[in-house]
Structure 1
Amino acid sequence: METRQLVLYGLLGVIVLFFGGEKLKTSLIDEPFDAQQKRIEKLEKDRTKAKKTLNRAKKTSRRIAEWEEQSLPADPSTARTVYQEWLVDVVDRSRLTTPSFDSGTPVLRNGIYHSLTFSVRARGTLQQFTAFLYEFYRADFLHQIQSIGITPLRSAGLLDLSISIEAVAMTNSAYAQDLPTAIAEEFADKDITYFSPIVRRNIFGIGGEADPANFTRLTAVTEQGDTEAWFTLGSENRVIRLKQGEMLDVGQFTGTVAEIHRTDVILEARGERWLLSIGENLNEASALPPEF
């Protein structure tokens, strides 16, 4: 009996030791290990998050540095004065007429920059308005046109213009008295003639005499003998027959017949290529990309 009890006590001890040991292992080894793994995972997530935040901060810092190079002078009064002087000069060089100017009170935003608003009223032809826009966007300032009101004055052949502008003066601007002198990257290799197609299209239908180019239509392509493109001048009811390489000079359009195909031609003018299909007027030609 005593031997059996000793065996039972021994088995009981083994069972207690097994389960107790497992519990001891769990509390002393497994749980601390799992907790450590969770801390490591959290640290990794925090490190990744901090790295992303740092990268965003670096990008923001670079962007702010760029803005400070494009900014109007830091002092808002100086900024308003020199920018309005610049606007007056641009309007004058664009030959817009009867101009009037106004500006609002500078407003500090987030302690980082002042927002300045300006308005311009003037009249001019589409060509003069295009010249104004060219000069405006060519200047690499922190400014933008917020709205444009355009009323065609057909009897006078002019546009009545109302333009609202916002400009920015960073508190840490790189300039104290002057405006930036850099040219916007998009305009570095373009002069005003690049925008002449806008004027030729005359989308507002203003002006004195109608441009004959707007009524010159590609009416046929013939392949009997030499391939020719036939252009009908609607204003004169006259047909011009041209071969590849010959010049087309009508109204404000001067260009070369670069290629002739069965249903369309490619015209080349001022370094640009235009696709004109049978039945279309010159002002309906589609601009082709440089690589075409």
Structure 2
Amino acid sequence: MTPTMKWLLIACGGVFGIYGLDRLYQGWIEEPKQALNTDLDRLSKEIQESKQLQFASQKAGKRLEEYAHRALPSDPVLARSLYQQWLLGLLDQYQLKSASVDASQPTAVEIKSRTKRGKRERIGYRIDYSVRGQSTLAKLSAFLDAFRRASHLQKIRSVSLNPIGNDGRLDVNLSIQVLCLDKAVEGERLSDWELTEEAAAELSPTTTLVQRNPFAKGFAKALQDLELKAITVNRQGITQAWFSTDGRGTVQKVPAGESIPNHLHEVFVAQIESDRVLVKFNDSEHWIRLGQSVGQVVAPEAQERPDGSAPEALN
């Protein structure tokens, strides 16, 4: 064997030795390390998911506890009667005329059982109510605001409004659904829970719908009838704006900070000066002088001039 061959064999042996050592390193150290890191990542993810599930369970538990306090009594017959009485009282309080409330038969509410596979268990009953009546948009908005502030497990499923004549009355149809739970805290009466001040402050205002009354048939008559007749100061030193409110000459004395009585529109008197009054209508302000009507200064907003430019408000 030549020296060259010997050195080649030694070199080959060294290469195979290094390769073997590398395989030993990979098999004994690197691969177990990677597997350990993978397990650590998996365990960390499982722990995070477990914490999230625990947090969600805590929130669900608090929510279920809240629902138990807000739910109607577990007896569906009693719950059906109590809620119908409460609803009729609310309708009467907000002056919905010719009001009627019809209640359906209670329907069982079931969910999948957590202990018995393939089984379902009842958790309570669902009751549907149909409400009919007549009201103005302002009174209906006040009713709906009181409804959403009530603590019962209730929701409005549908609303149907149809104008009646030209005096601002609406034919109202509401579909309401409520829940009574088997684990309800109140057994013989409705819940008396109320919204906190913080929660009530987060509710959107109900005046927007009234101000933008979609059922008003244009500006012509209702707003033209609101004419500024006089500005006086009464014995108490309060400045009042005298507005005619209909075509029959009825006059209302309105101080600053109040609205002009009107079925179709919400017109707010913001400021009174010696010869003019500042009113707010549809989120805009307008000055009205003696002898002018609200319609004269407001109606042009809905129209464009022939040249396409918008008219200026009276200042």
- With the length of structure 1 as denominator, give the TM-score of the two structures: 0.66
CA distance in 1, matches of 2:21, 2:284: 88
Shift of 1:40: 0.9
CA distance in 1, matches of 2:26, 2:13: 19
Structural mapping, 1:24-39, within 5 Å: 24-39=24-39
Residue in 1 that maps onto 2:285: 276
* Gaps in structure 2 of 5+ consecutive residues: 112-121, 246-251, 257-268, 299-315
CA distance in 2, matches of 1:253, 1:59: 53
Letter aligned with residue 294 of structure 2: N
Structural mapping, 1:172-187, within 5 Å: 172-185=183-196
Residue in 2 that maps onto 1:22: 22
Residue in 1 that maps onto 2:240: 247
Q: 1:265·1:275 contact (CA, 8 Å) conserved in 2? A: no
CA distance in 2, matches of 1:198, 1:17: 86
1:123 pairs, out of 134, 154, 172, with 134
Count of residue pairs brought into register by the alignment: 250
CA distance in 2, matches of 1:115, 1:91: 21
Q: 1:72·1:173 contact (CA, 8 Å) conserved in 2? A: yes
- Asked whether 1:148 is paired with 2:159, we answer yes
Residue in 2 that maps onto 1:100: 100
Q: Cα distance 1:255–1:201, how it changes in 2: closer, same or farther (>3 A)?
A: farther
Residue in 1 that maps onto 2:263: none
Identity %: 26
Residue in 2 that maps onto 1:67: 67
CA distance in 1, matches of 2:270, 2:94: 33
* Gaps in structure 1 of 5+ consecutive residues: 217-231, 269-273, 285-292
CA distance in 2, matches of 1:8, 1:205: 103
Q: 2:74·2:182 contact (CA, 8 Å) conserved in 1? A: yes
- Asked whether 1:78 is paired with 2:78, we answer yes
Question: How big is the alpha-carbon RMSD for the aligned residues of Structure 1 and Structure 2?
Answer: 4.3
Q: Cα distance 1:127–1:24, how it changes in 2: closer, same or farther (>3 A)?
A: closer
Q: 2:240·2:253 contact (CA, 8 Å) conserved in 1? A: no
CA distance in 2, matches of 1:129, 1:78: 28
- With the length of structure 2 as denominator, give the TM-score of the two structures: 0.62
CA distance in 2, matches of 1:128, 1:9: 103
